[in-house]
Amino acid sequence: MDAAPAPTTKTTHVATAAEANCLRGNGDACTLATAKNEIVEVGGPPITIPKLALEPHEMVVAHAWDSEGRLAVSTRRRVLYCTKSYKPVGEVKDLAFDARDRLLLGTFAGVENVEDEAIGWPGRCCVCIATLDEDVFAAALDGELALLKSAKDLAWTAPLPADRAQCLAASNDVVVISTRLGSVLAITSESGSEKWAQKVGDGDDGGGTYVVIRDGVCYAAGGGAWAAYSLDTGAPLVQGILKPRRCRGLGAAASNVIAAVEAGDSEDAPGRRGEMERTCALATLALPRRPAADASKLAKLEARFRVAADPFRAAVRPADGAARLAKLAARLGPPPGFGAAAPPSPPPGLGDAPTPPASARRAASSPS
């Protein structure tokens, strides 16, 4: 079992709710929304982050980046995107962009489309959403997952574990959902049937469990632990511990998977809004490694595929001995056209008269 290395990057902020620490990816980088109403860079190459025009009483609950690197930020009652402000019908819990860069909100009124102000799955309290092309997966507060085709048409619904959904991630033909208490469930995106289920972490520590999909692997972190599972089978690939144990988000930056973890004061009860200053740290998870190749097999492969010193002359293998070469030559025989046996003479009576034997020719030529 591999343990997560010690956090190397820290940002200090006052966290008042789990939703205040939204960790999202932007290409090869990650950004973290803090309860100080700021977006900070936490991994990958430097990126330009616009200044947020928020009121002092507003708190960032979610943010996301579109395909052109534009930032959308949401408070509970207002959304800022491309210098525009949108007032949602319900309280915002999550947001995401689809393949057409349409901004979609998971609110307590359903899945709201900022572009045309339409509402999919109306009347349902959608606490987290994820997009796959133009489709939207939405998890409701009452423990149900739905697929909305083109963000509006309900395709199917599936029951979730008896716990509040925390995070969604979708990739190809599977969607993975995590709950606050550590359940991780993979569901087939076409039919809504369960593919596999796992458990990571233990108990309610005031944070939650988050998931992210990368290169056919599902990463989950929460409850003081993290794990990587095969996206196809759910088999555990690697596991570790989180220190601090309270997870606030999970994201992928370049070749790393980063967890935002928080050390809260010990007197703050799980799930309550603390007033003490907390420290949010970033832990880089140890990615699964392929098993090391056998040294002797590797040496044989290198010798077999080694390039010749002279690129214009093919590599020639040394002779294995004169005896083996002689056997090989005898087995293959002479090449065609060189040293071939003479054709047989025609049988007597066909064509010309047969040639007399040498003794007869000598008797005939001797004098009488």
d(CA 241, CA 200): 10
The structure's pTM equals 0.72
User: End-to-end CA distance of the chain, in Å?
Assistant: 113
Residue 227: closest CA among 198, 194, 207, 188: 198
Domain ranges of the chain: 9-284
Whether the Cβ atoms of residue 28 and residue 253 lie closer than 8 Å to each other? yes
d(CA 274, CA 276): 6
How does pLDDT run across 119-149, given as a tens digit for each residue?
999 999 999 999 999 999 999 998 999 999 9
d(CA 158, CA 248): 26
- In sign, the C-alpha dihedral spanning 211, 214, 217, 221 is negative
How does pLDDT run across 275-324, given as a tens digit for each residue?
455 667 888 887 776 655 567 777 777 777 765 545 555 555 555 567 77
d(CA 140, CA 252): 25
How does pLDDT run across 78-123, given as a tens digit for each residue?
999 988 899 999 999 999 999 999 999 999 999 999 999 999 999 9
Domain 9-284 falls under CATH 1.10.10.10: no
